[in-house]
Chain A
Amino acid sequence: MHDLFYAALVFFSVLVTIQSAYTLYLTLYTWDRPPAEARAPEHFLPPRLSFTVMLPARHEEAVIATTIERVVRANYPAKLIQVLVVCSADDDGTIAKAQEKIQALRREGYGNVSVVVFNDKPINKPHGLNAALPSATNDVVTIFDAEDDIHPDIFNIVNTVMETEHVKVVQAGVQLMNFESTWYSALNVLEYFFWFKSRLHYHARKGAITLGGNTVFFGRSLLMSIGGWDETNLTEDADIGLRLSGTGEKIRVVYDDRYVTREETPPSLGQFIKQRTRWSQGFIQTMRKGTWKGLPTRRQRLLAFYTLSFPIFQALLGLYFPFSLVTMFSLKVPVQIALISYLPVVMLLAHFLISVVGLREFTAAHGLKATRADVIRLAFAWLPYQLVLAYAAARAVVRQARGINNWEKTAHVGAHRGPSSEPAEDLKEFVDDAA
C-alpha cells in the first residue's frame, strides 16, 4: 500500500513538474526567438485594405464614447473604416451614449459609425457579432471591446502585415495596464503580457491557436465562409481560432509593446473570478465540442487539447495544494520520494522569479516603473493568486458539470485610461438568459 502511495506521489510530482516546465517554456518562448519575429513592421505600406470594426457593448455607457472616438480618429483614412457598435435592444443606456457620440462625430464630418441593434437571444458577445456580420462591408473585420484603448496605427500595422505576408488572420497584442490597482493586478497584467507576447506566438507557429477576443482581424470572406462565431460558446474566440487552425489557415500574431491594445484588470476579486470562470468554462466547452480534433496533425491536436483541458488540471492543482501542505508536515516518506515531491515547489519558484523579471520587462517596455513595494506585493500575492485561479477553474468545472452556461460579464471602469476618463456609473453585472 505504501509503495502504491509513493508511486502515485512520484507520478503526480513528475507530471506537475513536466507540465510546469512546459508552461515555463511557453511563457518564455518569444525571448528564445529572433525579436523581429513578433515585432510590428517598422515601415507601413500605404492604406489599401478597408476595415469593419465591431464594438460589441453591453452596459458600457461609461466607456463606449471614448472607444468610438479612438477608433474613428485612428491614423487611417476614415473612408476605409466602418464602425459598428453592437448592442442588444434592451441596452438603452449604451445605445443612447453611442448615438450621442455618432451625432457629434457626424457634425465633424465622420459618417462611418452606426449602431447595430439585435433583439433576439441569446444576448451574448458571439451572437451580437454574428448579428452584425451581415452589416460588415469592408475587406477585414475586427473586434474591439468597449473598454479597449487601441493604438492609432493599429490599422496601418495590420494592413502592412496582411499585404506583405498574405495572411488573412492577424491577432495583435492586447495588454492590461493597471498593474498597481489591486493586489492581483500585477499578476493579471503579467498573464496577458506572457500570453500575448510569448505564448500565442508558439501556438500560431504550431498551427493550433486559441485567438483572443479583441484586436483580432479576419478577412471578411474567410469569416463568412466558416459561419462566424459559435454563439453557444463562452470563449467563442478560442473556438474560432481552432476552427481556423483546422482549415490550415495561417494566423499571424503581432505583439509589439508600442502598439498593444490597452485594457484594464477586473475591478474586484469577484469580477476577476467570474471572468476567469467564464474563460475556463469556455475552454472546457470547446474541448468537449471537439473542435481540436479537426486539427491536421497529432502534435497540433495535443497542443490544443492541452490548452483547452488546462482548467481541469488547474482545478486539480488547487486540490493538490492543501494535500501537499498536509503531507509536507505530517507524512514521513523516504528521502528520495520527498525530494521528488519537492520538484513542483521548485518549479513554482521558477515561475515566480520569471514573473518578477516579467514585471520589470513589462514596465520597462511601457515606460512605467515597478517599485520595490510592487515586487514585494507580487511576492505576497503570488500564492493566493494561484489559488484564486484554481478556485475559478474548479468553479468552471462544477458549472460545466451542472449545465450552467450563462455569461458572467466583466464590468469596466476605465482604470487603464487614467483620471480623465468618464467614471463608471455602476459596476453591476448581468446574467443573461442564454442558458
Chain B
Amino acid sequence: MTPRDPAVVRPGAAAGAVSSLSRGTPATTRLLGAASAAQRSLGRLGLVALTFALVCGLVTHGYHLFQYPLYSTDEGIYIERAWAVIREDRLSPQTYFYDHAPGGWLQLAVWEFLLPRHFETFGNPVNSGRVLMLLVHLASVFFLFEIARKLSGGLLAPMIATFLFNFSPLAVYYQRMMLLDNLMVFWVLLSIYLLLLLRRRAVLFAGFWSGLAFGVSVVTKENAIFFAPTIFYLLYRRARGDPSRRFAITLWMFAAGAIISAYFLYATLKGELSPPQMDFSLTHQPQGHVSLLYELWYQVHRNQGTVFNHGSFLYAMWLPKDKYLLAGGTAAMLISLYLGWRNKKRNLGFLVAGTLALEIAFYLARGSVILDFYVIPLIPMFALCIGLVADRALKALPSPLARVAAVVVPALAAALLLSPTGSYLLTHDPQTGKLKPNDVYYLPLTYLQNEQIAWIRAHVPPTARIISDDDIWVALHEGSPSYTYDQSHFEAASDPAVRNKIFGGNWRNIDYIVLSNGMKHAMIMNNTGGQESYILDALNNHSTEVWHASRGKVSLAIYKVQK
C-alpha cells in the first residue's frame, strides 16, 4: 500500500478534521477562551463572594424559617406523600392520581428517612421539609453563582444574581416552603452547572450527569420540561468541537429519557397508563381507575385565563412582594434575548439566560391553571438575566464611569435592602405607618397551626373522624396519639375511596372539621360537582366552633359536628 492509496489518506484526513475541530473555529475559540477565563478557579475574591452569598442565603432563608410563612396546603400534601412512602410503602396515603410525578416527594422521603426522628426532628413535620428547602436553597445559590460566573467570566454577575436570589422577598417567601418547584429548580440549575464544568473534565460524562439531573428535575416537577430547549442547546454548544460530542449528546438524552420514562413505566406496570376504554373525554372523569395519560391530557386542557388578568397572582401576590425583580427581570430578559440572538456565538450566556427566563415566563403566561408558587423557577432565571446584563453594562462603561459604578452598585443594593418601598428588609406597617422588618423576618404565624394541633391532642379522641387541611395531616398521623381517621378535605371530597367508603358522603359521619386559613374558600371553589357539599353542610348547618385563633389575615378554627 502506498501513501497515495486512498485507504491510507482518508483515515488521516478524517483524523485531521477531528483535530482541527477540537482546536475550534475562531468563534468557538473566542467562546472557549472566555469560558476558560471564567472557569479559572474562584480565587480569593471569588471565594469571599461565594461565601458571602451562601451566608446571606443561610440567614435570609434560615432565620424565622419555622415561623413564617404559614404552613401551606401544598407543603402538607408533599409531606403527607413522603410520609406514605415511608410508613405505608405507597406514593400517597389516598389514591395517587398522577397529579404530579412522584420524584419530589420520593426525595423528601429519603431526607425524612435519614433524619434521626424522621418527621418530628424539627417539631412540626413541615419544618423538616423546610430544613431540606434551606439546604436546597444553599446548593442552588452555589449553582447560580457558578453558572453566572462561567457565563459572564467575572464576579459581578454572580454577585448580583445571588443577591437577588437571596434577598428578594418574593424568593424568600416561596423558597422557604417545602414545594416541588424549589427542588426542581435545584435539579435544573445542577443540570446547567454540570454542562459548564471545567474543560479538564471531559464533556462526555458531564453530559450524562447533566441529563440525569434534568430527568430528575422533570419527575420532580413536570414544568421543568420547558427548560429542555435551552439546556439541550447549551449541551450542543458545549459539546461542539469535542471528540466525544456524539456520545455526550446521546448520553444526555439517554439519562434524561431513562428517568422520565420510569414514570411512564410505573404507570404501565400499575395498569394505569391509559384511561379505561381509552376515554379521554374532558367533560367527565373516566370511571374505573386513574390514568397518567388522562391526567396529562386533562392538565394540558385546563384553562384559567392568563397571568395578566385582573386579580391574578401577578397583581395580587408577585408584584406586591417584589416589583423590582419582576420589572427588572423582564427588561433584562428582553435585553439578554436581543444580545444573545444578535450574536449567538459571542453572547452564549445571554442567550442561555434569556431563553431560560423566556421559557418559564411563557409557561406562566400561556393561560393554564397557575398557582401562586409557580413563580419559583422564574426567580433564579430573572436574577441571572439581571446579573449578566448589569455586568455587560458596567463592562461597557469607560473606566472613569466604571470606577463610579463600583461604588454605585453596592449603594444600590444597600438602598434596595433598606428602602421600605422595595420591602427587601424593611417595610411600612400598614396600620401605624412606622418602619418594621419585612414579615418574612418578623411575623410569626405557624404557632397558630401548632396551637391548633395541640388543642386537638388535648381535646379530641384519636378515634374521631376529622376533616382537616393537608398542612396538619402528618402532624396528626405521625404524633402520639395518631389520628388515623383524619382525612384531608380535598381527599374527602374528591377521592371516591374516602368520600364514599369512609364518610359515605354523609355529614353525620364527620366528628370534627379543622379549618385552616382559606380552607373554607378552597372547599367552595372546589365544589363545582357538589363533592364538598356534605362537608360544607356539616360546617354550615350542624357544627359548633370549639376553638379559634387568628392573627392579621390568618384565621384558624376547629368545629365539632353536632349530631
Contacts and interface: CB of A to CB of B under 8 A. Distances in A.
A339 B8 CA distance: 49
B305 interface: no
Interface residues of A, number: 34
A326 interface: no
Contacts of A35: 18-19, 22, 243
B11 A28 contact: no
Contacts of A256: 15
B14 A366 contact: yes
B254 A31 contact: no
Nearest to A363: B14
A338 interface: yes
A356 B246 CA distance: 10
B204 interface: yes
Contacts of B13: 367
Contacts of B246: 357, 360-361
Interface in A343-372: 346, 349-350, 353-354, 356-357, 360-361, 364-367
A342 interface: yes
A335 B269 contact: yes
Contact of B258 (A70, A346, A354, A356): A346
Contacts of B10: 366-367
Nearest to A418: B7
A32 B265 contact: no
A26 to B, nearest CB: 13
Interface string B13-39: 111001100100000000000000000
A360 B12 CA distance: 17
Contacts of A205: none
B11 A257 contact: yes
A33 B202 CA distance: 7
A149 interface: yes
A257 B244 contact: no
B494 to A, nearest CB: 23
B8 A32 contact: no
A122 interface: no
Residue from A73, A260, A365 whose CB has the most chain B CB atoms within 10 Å: A365
A338 B269 contact: yes
B270 interface: yes
Interface string B257-290: 0100010011001100000000000000000000
A149 B7 CA distance: 11
A258 interface: yes
A357 B269 contact: no
A193 to B, nearest CB: 13
A257 B250 CA distance: 22
Given A31-B247, A258-B11, A367-B13, A349 B269 contact: no
A31 B204 contact: yes
A152 interface: yes
B266 A366 contact: no
A257 B11 CA distance: 6
A151 interface: yes
Given A31-B204, A258-B12, A365-B14, A357 B247 contact: yes
B265 A342 contact: yes
A149 B15 contact: no
B407 interface: no
A31 B14 contact: no
A216 B3 CA distance: 23
A33 B262 CA distance: 31
Contacts of B266: 335, 339
Contact of A357 (B11, B250, B270): B250
B269 A339 contact: yes
A73 B8 CA distance: 14
Contacts of B12: 258
Interface in A80-110: none
Contacts of B265: 339, 342
A357 B208 CA distance: 15
B525 interface: no
A354 B247 contact: yes
A435 B11 CA distance: 43
Nearest to A42: B19
A35 B265 CA distance: 39
B22 A152 contact: no
Contacts of A346: 258
B243 A151 contact: no
Given A152-B3, A360-B246, A367-B14, A350 B8 contact: no
A351 to B, nearest CB: 10
A356 B19 CA distance: 22
A12 B6 CA distance: 50
A152 B1 contact: yes
Contact of A365 (B3, B15, B205, B250): B15
B498 to A, nearest CB: 22
A12 to B, nearest CB: 19
Interface in B225-261: 243-244, 246-247, 250-251, 254, 258
A233 B18 CA distance: 40
Given A335-B269, A339-B265, A366-B14, A151 B8 contact: yes
B14 A32 contact: no
Contacts of B18: 35, 365
Given A366-B10, A367-B10, A32 B254 contact: no
B250 A32 contact: no
Contact of A257 (B6, B15, B270): B15
Contacts of A149: 1
Contact of A354 (B15, B250, B270): B250
Nearest to B19: A35
A32 B206 CA distance: 10
The 3 closest A-B pairs by CB, nearest first: A367-B10, A31-B244, A258-B11
Given A152-B2, A361-B246, A367-B14, 9 more contacts: A28-B244, A32-B202, A152-B3, A258-B14, A338-B269, A342-B265, A360-B246, A365-B15, A366-B10
5 contacts: A33-B202, A149-B1, A350-B254, A366-B10, A367-B11
